[in-house]
Chain A
């Protein structure tokens, strides 16, 4: 059965800390891995990763994919209270009856 596992499930840090969120997957017909940020309702897109070893960066956020070991990490440096959210990892499949398989998410709380 296809699965995406995120860890930790929740995390509390202080402003300025650096955090690493983990995502491992066992999914057939892998096409790409996506990270989303969900603050209240609608998940918003952060990164799409297709190739191993190529880091994607956007400001204080960065992410990388390892297709051999089947995992990805999302790093957030110098965290701010506005980073508090649920971070979702999802795998897009080439084919199959479920195109996008999500993990349960990591709930990040950044306290001042």
Chain B
């Protein structure tokens, strides 16, 4: 049983570019959450998707957008990249009504130059 997978593992972009990160949830899970973890900080909630809809959103600008597909996989898109977007982006999957049990993927480390 595959756990949560994310791609790519590492990414280097320049300011102003756009990036798409991908996440496949653990088998049987229907909810995907995205987090940003800057160096030396705890993960910060970006948004959560369920049934292909954004269900909840943290304090992130509209440059951050996402999508969930019918197979429950998800994408995180960031437009007009800033240096401050450099971070580890974590995806977590769960069942909607059991969010205590969130499984995290290995993350995508994004560096913006």
Contact = CB atoms under 8 A, between A and B. Distances in A.
The answer to whether A and B come from one shared complex is yes
Interface of A: 4, 6, 31-32, 34, 36, 40-45, 48, 88, 90, 92, 97-105
B101 A45 contact: yes
B72 interface: no
A104 B33 contact: no
Contact of B99 (A36, A92, A102): A92
A97 B107 contact: no
A41 B43 contact: no
B45 A100 contact: yes
Contacts, number: 60
11 contacts: A34-B100, A41-B107, A44-B104, A90-B43, A92-B99, A92-B100, A98-B59, A99-B99, A100-B33, A100-B102, A104-B41
Interface in B31-83: 33, 35, 40-45, 48, 56-59
Contacts of B59: 98
A48 B105 CA distance: 19
A43 B58 contact: no
A43 B107 CA distance: 10
A32 B102 CA distance: 13
B21 interface: no
Given A41-B88, A42-B90, A92-B99, A101 B104 contact: no
